[in-house]
């Protein structure tokens, strides 16, 4: 009785947006249709700690037509992870497909063995528990397939979902609840209905798998009913290869409020922006001036680029129609500013300059980085924890390449030498688009975990073609981790040898993760700092620093370890 009443009420009286995170897919035929098309679907919310079961299933992506796709817990896109910063995320990913999988949490910082590296393949019939603390800023991230040479195919067939991090500390009266709407944008080929067959041929291996129609949250010809009020839309380009030039059919302006790694420092007004595969941009859009009964369409504008019609980059495409249906208010506002972002100073770069040349060459042309194609067993470079580095990426090809790093958010420094950046470049970025011929410089600092991670093109056909490198994050400069045991308490040990000449070693224990930087500094007998051996964040462990004071005179010195509320000083004697 109660169930029946609720169900009837839900269909008749609850404004549509309240069904935001309900899985409307199964009952799409029951919902009221206003105008043509299909009501925008939303994947269910993932229950933290639960299973994510990958399977080949038959769904009605296009109403009335059976389509063979990959679903996660029966849903395409997969269930949306919605989690607070600071919580521990856990999912048991079960592989019921007939080929290997890995799951990557794009933009999210995870220990190396949780990152979905293709080395950590999960066999058909097996499962893997992914678990890690959520360290990222609030923002729109996502997860997707990442198995060796199978990423493009599995994502195309449905293996992707949202990973939204909420930060309760960020409260700017933005539209929330039903007015905070994630939109996963993917293109598919209408000619291939019913199905998402994946058979890339020659043009696809060059340009990527491009479709001729756009699905939003797995909905073709989607419409979304809105109120005359302000909305927050989280746009994810979950396409394999398509780049969108996002705008509205009436050219209305909106505010860009977030990039890949969360809120910007300020909302920026815009009428269009480019969104390449893997990128996320959040916008605030108002329908307050629209008439009930009217509609406006989110579109991709035409731009010039290669490919073969209709599978061509740069064709105009409709993405999502908004039907204005009522007067409800979100109560949200466009804030004048968000929290400031501390921009890296290029003068503080201490890592070696890193250069990446993107090319397309050979008798059987392959996409390469620095002349290399991906080798799962080769480590292409190592990078130090806590060292600010500058990466210069040069696109020497005639195609777009959205370049992506795992395990950090970049800050774009310059595009073709120009530091005056478009609004969707400025802020925290893990994926950055390079137009043909462009050079982009980014600044990056890895601050969390050691281990093996990836840098690659997020055109997924390019990635599977080998446009990807392995890098290893190693101990910070001047510090070495001893063993893997987690000590029970913080400690600073007496240095050895002591007295010493010319160098000595200082061992210390970090018992638990603290948010502030830990530091190990040396002072002379008058209390003046003469050296800083370390200043940065460390995960728990036992570490050893080496001090080699070449230019200091013999005498007594003090080493002090500060880590959160822990502080201890030891006495050192230099005897030259």
Distance CA(141)–CA(106), nearest Å, equals: 6
User: Which tokens belong to 292?
Assistant: 């009930």
Q: How far is the CB of 402 from Cu ion (least distance, A)?
A: 7
**Under a CB-based contact definition with an 8 Å cutoff, are residues 224 and 321 in contact?**
yes
Contact of residue 445 among Cu ion, ligand C2O, none (CB under 5-8 Å per partner type)? none
Q: How far is the CB of 86 from Cu ion (least distance, A)?
A: 21
Contact of residue 401 among Cu ion, ligand C2O, none (CB under 5-8 Å per partner type)? Cu ion
Contact of residue 144 among Cu ion, ligand C2O, none (CB under 5-8 Å per partner type)? ligand C2O
Q: How far is the CB of 163 from ligand C2O (least distance, A)?
A: 11
The nearer residue to Cu ion, 457 or 538, going by C-beta atoms, is 457
Contact of residue 457 among ligand C2O, Cu ion, none (CB under 5-8 Å per partner type)? Cu ion
Distance CA(541)–CA(110), nearest Å, equals: 17
Contact of residue 454 among ligand C2O, Cu ion, none (CB under 5-8 Å per partner type)? ligand C2O
The CA R_g of the chain, rounded to the nearest whole Å, is 26
The nearer residue to Cu ion, 351 or 466, going by C-beta atoms, is 466
Q: How far is the CB of 116 from Cu ion (least distance, A)?
A: 8
Distance CA(471)–CA(11), nearest Å, equals: 52
The nearer residue to ligand C2O, 450 or 456, going by C-beta atoms, is 456
The nearer residue to Cu ion, 178 or 209, going by C-beta atoms, is 209
The nearer residue to ligand C2O, 106 or 157, going by C-beta atoms, is 106
Q: How far is the CB of 233 from ligand C2O (least distance, A)?
A: 20
Q: How far is the CB of 278 from ligand C2O (least distance, A)?
A: 5
Sheet holding 366-369, edge to edge: 366-369, 354-361, 389-395, 439-444, 411-415
Candidates 482, 484, 490, 451; CA nearest to 545 is: 482
In the complex, the residues that contact ligand C2O under the rule CB under 6 A are 104, 106, 144, 146, 278, 404, 406, 454, 456, 458
The nearer residue to Cu ion, 8 or 398, going by C-beta atoms, is 398
**Under a CB-based contact definition with an 8 Å cutoff, are residues 452 and 407 in contact?**
no
Contact of residue 16 among Cu ion, ligand C2O, none (CB under 5-8 Å per partner type)? none
Convert 163-224 into a string of H (helix), E (strand) and C (coil).
EEEECCCCCCCCCCHHHEEEEEEEEECHHHCCCCCCCCCHHHHHHCCCCCEEEECCEECEEE
**Under a CB-based contact definition with an 8 Å cutoff, are residues 11 and 30 in contact?**
yes
The nearer residue to ligand C2O, 429 or 458, going by C-beta atoms, is 458
User: Which tokens belong to 419?
Assistant: 């530091």
Contact of residue 278 among ligand C2O, Cu ion, none (CB under 5-8 Å per partner type)? ligand C2O
Phi, psi angle pair for 154, to nearest 5°:
-70, -35
The half-sphere exposure of 3 on its side-chain side, counting CA atoms within 13 A, is 0
**Under a CB-based contact definition with an 8 Å cutoff, are residues 400 and 313 in contact?**
yes
Q: How far is the CB of 50 from ligand C2O (least distance, A)?
A: 22
Contact of residue 232 among Cu ion, ligand C2O, none (CB under 5-8 Å per partner type)? none
Contact of residue 188 among Cu ion, ligand C2O, none (CB under 5-8 Å per partner type)? none
Strand 354-361 to strand 103-106: parallel, antiparallel, or no bridges (unpaired)?
unpaired
Q: How far is the CB of 517 from ligand C2O (least distance, A)?
A: 28
The nearer residue to ligand C2O, 294 or 370, going by C-beta atoms, is 370
**Under a CB-based contact definition with an 8 Å cutoff, are residues 274 and 304 in contact?**
no
Contact of residue 240 among Cu ion, ligand C2O, none (CB under 5-8 Å per partner type)? none
The per-residue DSSP string of 372-400 comes to B---TT---EEEETT--EEEEEEE-SSS-
The nearer residue to Cu ion, 16 or 415, going by C-beta atoms, is 415
Candidates 233, 232, 244, 320; CA nearest to 279 is: 244
Distance CA(223)–CA(231), nearest Å, equals: 15
Q: How far is the CB of 404 from Cu ion (least distance, A)?
A: 5
User: Which tokens belong to 167?
Assistant: 């930060």
Distance CA(568)–CA(509), nearest Å, equals: 11
Contact of residue 462 among Cu ion, ligand C2O, none (CB under 5-8 Å per partner type)? Cu ion
Sheet holding 219-220, edge to edge: 219-220, 213-216, 180-188, 230-237, 280-286, 254-259, 262-270
Q: How far is the CB of 463 from Cu ion (least distance, A)?
A: 7
- The SS3 call for residue 154 is helix
The per-residue DSSP string of 434-457 comes to E-TT-EEEEEE---S--EEEEEEE
Structure letter (DSSP) for residue 285:
E
**N-terminal to C-terminal alpha carbon distance within the chain:** 89
Q: How far is the CB of 556 from ligand C2O (least distance, A)?
A: 51
In the complex, the residues that contact Cu ion under the rule CB under 5 A are 106, 401, 406, 457, 459, 462
Contact of residue 459 among Cu ion, ligand C2O, none (CB under 5-8 Å per partner type)? Cu ion
262's enclosing H/E stretch is strand 262-270
Strand 354-361 to strand 389-395: parallel, antiparallel, or no bridges (unpaired)?
parallel
Contact of residue 280 among Cu ion, ligand C2O, none (CB under 5-8 Å per partner type)? none
Contact of residue 157 among ligand C2O, Cu ion, none (CB under 5-8 Å per partner type)? none
Q: How far is the CB of 303 from ligand C2O (least distance, A)?
A: 23
CA 503 vs. chain centroid, Å, equals: 43
Closest CB to ligand C2O belongs to which residue?
106
Q: How far is the CB of 357 from ligand C2O (least distance, A)?
A: 20
Q: How far is the CB of 151 from ligand C2O (least distance, A)?
A: 8
């Amino acid at each position: 009785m109660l169930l029946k009443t609720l169900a009837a009420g839900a269909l008749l009286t609850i404004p549509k947006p309240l069904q935001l995170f309900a899985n409307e897919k199964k009952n799409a035929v029951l919902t009221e249709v206003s105008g043509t098309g299909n009501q925008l679907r939303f994947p269910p919310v993932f229950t933290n700690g639960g299973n994510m079961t990958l399977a080949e299933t038959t769904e009605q992506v296009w109403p009335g037509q059976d389509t063979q796709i990959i679903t996660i817990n029966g849903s395409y896109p997969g269930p949306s992870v919605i989690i607070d910063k600071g919580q521990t995320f856990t999912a048991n990913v079960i592989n019921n497909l007939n080929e290997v999988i890995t799951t990557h949490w794009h933009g999210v910082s995870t220990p190396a063995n949780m990152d979905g590296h293709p080395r950590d393949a999960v066999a058909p019939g097996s499962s893997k528990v992914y678990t890690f603390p959520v360290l990222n800023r609030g923002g729109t991230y996502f997860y997707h397939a990442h198995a060796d040479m199978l990423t493009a195919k599995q994502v195309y067939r449905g293996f992707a979902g949202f990973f939204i991090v909420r930060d309760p500390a960020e409260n700017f009266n933005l539209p929330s609840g039903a007015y905070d709407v994630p939109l996963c944008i993917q293109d598919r080929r209408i000619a291939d209905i019913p199905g998402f067959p994946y058979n890339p041929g020659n043009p696809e291996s060059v340009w990527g798998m491009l479709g001729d129609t756009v699905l939003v949250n797995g909905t073709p010809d989607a419409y979304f009913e809105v109120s005359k009020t302000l909305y927050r839309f989280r746009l994810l380009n979950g396409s394999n290869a398509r780049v969108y030039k996002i705008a509205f059919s009436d050219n209305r302006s909106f505010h860009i409020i977030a990039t890949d790694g969360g809120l910007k420092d300020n909302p920026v007004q815009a009428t269009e922006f480019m969104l390449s595969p893997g990128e996320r941009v959040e916008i605030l859009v108002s329908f307050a001036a629209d008439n009930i009964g009217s509609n406006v369409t989110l579109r991709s504008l035409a731009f010039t680029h290669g490919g073969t019609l209709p599978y061509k980059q740069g064709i105009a495409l409709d993405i999502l129609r908004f039907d204005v249906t009522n007067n409800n208010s979100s109560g949200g506002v466009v804030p004048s500013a968000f929290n400031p972002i501390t921009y890296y100073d290029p003068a503080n770069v201490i890592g070696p300059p890193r250069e990446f040349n993107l090319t397309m060459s050979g008798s059987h042309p392959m996409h390469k980085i620095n002349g290399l194609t991906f080798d799962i067993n080769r480590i292409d470079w190592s990078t130090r924890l806590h060292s600010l580095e500058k990466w210069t990426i040069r696109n020497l090809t005639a195609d777009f390449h959205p370049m992506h790093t795992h395990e950090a958010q970049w800050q774009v420094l310059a595009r073709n030498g120009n530091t005056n950046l478009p609004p969707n470049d400025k802020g925290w970025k893990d994926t950055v688009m390079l137009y043909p011929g462009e050079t982009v410089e980014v600044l990056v600092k890895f601050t969390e975990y050691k281990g093996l991670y990836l840098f690659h093109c997020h055109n997924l056909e390019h990635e599977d073609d080998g446009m990807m490198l392995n890098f290893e994050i190693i101990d910070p400069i001047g510090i070495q981790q001893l063993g893997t045991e987690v000590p029970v308490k913080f400690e600073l040990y007496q240095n050895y040898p002591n007295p010493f000449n010319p160098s000595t070693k200082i061992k210390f224990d970090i018992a638990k993760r603290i948010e502030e930087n830990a530091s190990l500094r040396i002072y002379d007998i008058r209390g003046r700092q003469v050296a800083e051996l370390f200043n940065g964040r460390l995960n728990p462990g036992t570490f050893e620093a080496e001090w080699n004071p070449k230019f200091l005179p013999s005498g007594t010195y003090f080493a002090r370890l500060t880590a959160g509320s822990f502080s201890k000083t030891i006495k050192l004697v230099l005897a030259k």
